[in-house]
Structure 1
Amino acid sequence: MTGLLIQSLGLSHFRSHKRARLALDGRPLAIHGPNGAGKTNILEAVSMLSPGRGMRRASVEDLSRRPEALGWKITAALTSLGRAHEVETLSENAAPRQVRIDGKAAPQIALGRIARILWLIPSMDRLWIEGAEGRRRFLDRATLSFEPGHAEAVLAYEKAMRDRNRLLKDQVNDAHWYRALEAQMAEAGAKIHRNRAQSLGRLAQAQDQAETAFPIAKLTLTHPDPTVEAPDDPDALQAALAAGRTRDMAAGRTLAGPHRADLEAEFAAKGVAARDCSTGEQKALLVSLVLANGRALAEDFGASPILLLDEVAAHLDTHRRAALYDEICALGTQAFLTGTGPELFSDLGARAQWMSVYEHDQTSHIELQDPA
């Protein structure tokens, strides 16, 4: 199987990095250094090689190095399924992000067609105990990795919903306007649900087929509104939206649809809801899902995705940490891992490239190291 590989990565005025150029060979990259040195910023730069706002969902202004605030640029030489690509994404003076692939302007969705990138970051550690929005975002990122067109359905749905919510807040009663917007929401919303359901099926299959040190997470997609009897049917969703106009007008917002869905998880072997598991178990469930996503993509896309694992060793015991590194290497994925000290990656040894990051004069500096 031909792989997916970033061979070189360039950062210019991105976050704490003034200029950086990394030559990579496809092995996992163990990045260590003190807090605040700029390790996570490297992973965030890689995440910008995928559609969307990156792993921290930052604005283009926040990504620009201070105090210059001139804008930023990320470049990458990438090999995908046997083809070489030159990728560039940038923002100048807080202008909207631009993407160029092989020297030509391209929409962000085109990034998802040549590269699949998954991430696990510390803010996701509370995924199972906080609000549903984060869980929907987690599921949509997994879904987007399988189906890049999912982003278009989400954008179409959200745009139509914003317009409908505006009518609701203004107490507009024109049924013709509502019908037009609800038809758009229903078509996109049904597609969103189908994509999500297919994604859950692929994750479940990938977990069941693997022997792993990480627990299987049983996932369920739920909807709080019983009036939506068939969320994958545009006609049923449109009927539910029409029936809910009076209630929605009182609330000033749309109360039914895929934007209200939730992702529930259970530690399958114990029959315990993820929200009731220990911190370590919750982390292990997340790792299990990211690895399952990677295995499924290796089959569907034809190449293992790039993994971004920020401070991944946190809340993992020594056994599971070593098992994670073994599974990453077995998957053959290019993984970027961060941690505060090199001892966290000792089980990787020569299987990884090693990099030290430190801060000097408010600028991040990078040194490639010998693992010995």
Structure 2
Amino acid sequence: MTALSRLSLTDFRNHADALLGLAPGFVMLSGDNGAGKTNILEAVSMLAPGRGLRRAALRDMARQAGPGGFSVAARLEDGTELGTGTLAAAPDRRQLRVNGANAPLSQLAERLAILWLTPAMDRLFADSKAARRAFLDRLTLALEPGHGHHASRYEAAMRARNKLLAEPESADPDWLSSLEAGMAEHGEALHAARERTVASLSEAVAGAPVGNFPKAGLVLTGYDGGDLRQQLRTSRTRDGQAGRTLVGPHRQDLEVSHLEKNQPASLSSTGEQKALLLGLVLAHGELVETRRGMAPILLLDEVAAHLDPGRREALYERLEGRGQVWMTGTEAALFDGVEGTRFHVADGRVEAN
């Protein structure tokens, strides 16, 4: 099991200075809307690569009345110290320190697996392809920490290729071929990792206990693989005219269906979509624990308030003993009967209760 034993925030969102002593298991945050509960979850999400659960700009995470930068520091159960944040002089550049030494952000994925579910994700199945692709990539990253490297290198090479194709008369053909070779290398790795995740997650969902969370069918569409380097070469003119790359794994979509009703998840009710998404996240968390030998840290923002009592009880029961699970709610009563660490959040202040 991997969990945080301490979390410290400095000038992060509305928290000038917060320190939370933690234990494995459930961590429950209660307080009024706007008190700063979700901000704490966002801080934890910054212990993963990327832009966190809100996908916000780094400079927007710094406290408005603060000096301009922020820091999030955590101690893991094994004593490892992690610290990430920005400096006032460089508000758009995030740094990472591991046990006091500078380290690449990619190390976060090697040390922790962090997954989240927020109210903004409730309509994921009716959202854009990009949103579902980002969701799938987070699931894949938790299973294969090297996935983030391939994603960033692929995107960088694609941006450079698009720029060259916008001015074909001055484009260096050798450099264009080199960029396409890089896109092919990293793009094929991206595609293969996503396929493995979809296959493994489909198997995990099929084997999950029958209960209050419907089973989801998963299909990866929009790109079937093949010789990507050749596909890019033959698509140069078309891509240049379109102003973007029209073939590759960046065009993929995760199509989800409600298996029991044999219908697309996007056509399900809001409550069913929430339950489908929860079922996916729960099955994935169990898959990560089996594959990597460590349970992921789950961040569930306002999840209990939108579940009926039966599903709420089923959720708590299934999460019991499965790692550190952070949950927020406006009322502490939503967590009645749940054993764990409790905090009350009010106006950027955090108190244990």
**Shared fold (TM-score, shorter chain, > 0.5):** yes
| Structure 1 portions without partners, runs of 5+ | none
| Structure 2 portions without partners, runs of 5+ | none
Instruction: Find the partner of 1:354 among 334, 342, 353.
Output: 342
1:302-341 pair list within 5 angstroms: 302-330=293-321, 332-341=322-331
Query: Is the Cα–Cα contact under 8 Å of residues 279 and 315 in structure 1 kept in the other structure?
Result: no
Structure 2 residue identity aligned to 1:298? E
In 2, the alpha carbon distance for the partners of 1:321 and 1:169 equals 53
The residue that corresponds to 1:24 in the other structure is: 22
Query: Is the Cα–Cα contact under 8 Å of residues 61 and 69 in structure 1 kept in the other structure?
Result: no
Structure 1 residue identity aligned to 2:81? E
Identity of aligned residues (%): 45
In 1, the alpha carbon distance for the partners of 2:323 and 2:147 equals 24
In 1, the alpha carbon distance for the partners of 2:64 and 2:56 equals 15
The residue that corresponds to 1:218 in the other structure is: 217
Structure 2 residue identity aligned to 1:166? K
In 2, the alpha carbon distance for the partners of 1:274 and 1:287 equals 13
Q: Does 1:106 align with 2:103?
A: yes
1:249-260 pair list within 5 angstroms: 249-260=240-251
Give the Å deviation of 1:24: 0.8
The residue that corresponds to 2:80 in the other structure is: 85
Deviations 1:261-287 (A, max 9, x none): 001000111111000000001011111
Instruction: Find the partner of 2:264 among 269, 273, 283.
Output: 273
**Matched position secondary structure for 1:143:** helix
Q: Does 1:126 align with 2:123?
A: yes
Query: Is the Cα–Cα contact under 8 Å of residues 37 and 345 in structure 2 kept in the other structure?
Result: yes
Structure 1 residue identity aligned to 2:278? V
1:60-71 pair list within 5 angstroms: 60-71=58-69
Structure 1 residue identity aligned to 2:142? S
**Matched position secondary structure for 2:176:** helix
The residue that corresponds to 1:293 in the other structure is: 284
Structure 2 residue identity aligned to 1:18? A
Give the Å deviation of 1:95: 5.1
Give the Å deviation of 1:209: 1.9
Query: Is the Cα–Cα contact under 8 Å of residues 220 and 253 in structure 2 kept in the other structure?
Result: yes
In 2, the alpha carbon distance for the partners of 1:113 and 1:46 equals 16
In 2, the alpha carbon distance for the partners of 1:17 and 1:315 equals 27
**Matched position secondary structure for 1:97:** strand
Deviations 1:274-308 (A, max 9, x none): 00000001011111111111100111111111000
Aligned length: 349
* 4+ residue runs over 6 A deviation: none
**Matched position secondary structure for 1:51:** coil
TM-score, length basis structure 1? 0.91
Q: Considering only aligned residues, what root-mean-square deviation do their CA atoms show, in Å?
A: 1.4
1:127-206 pair list within 5 angstroms: 127-172=124-169, 174-206=172-204
Query: Is the Cα–Cα contact under 8 Å of residues 325 and 347 in structure 1 kept in the other structure?
Result: no
In 2, the alpha carbon distance for the partners of 1:193 and 1:344 equals 41
Query: Is the Cα–Cα contact under 8 Å of residues 64 and 71 in structure 1 kept in the other structure?
Result: yes
> Residues 7 and 62 (structure 1 numbering): CA distance in 2 closer, same or farther, change over 3 Å?
same
In 2, the alpha carbon distance for the partners of 1:42 and 1:49 equals 12
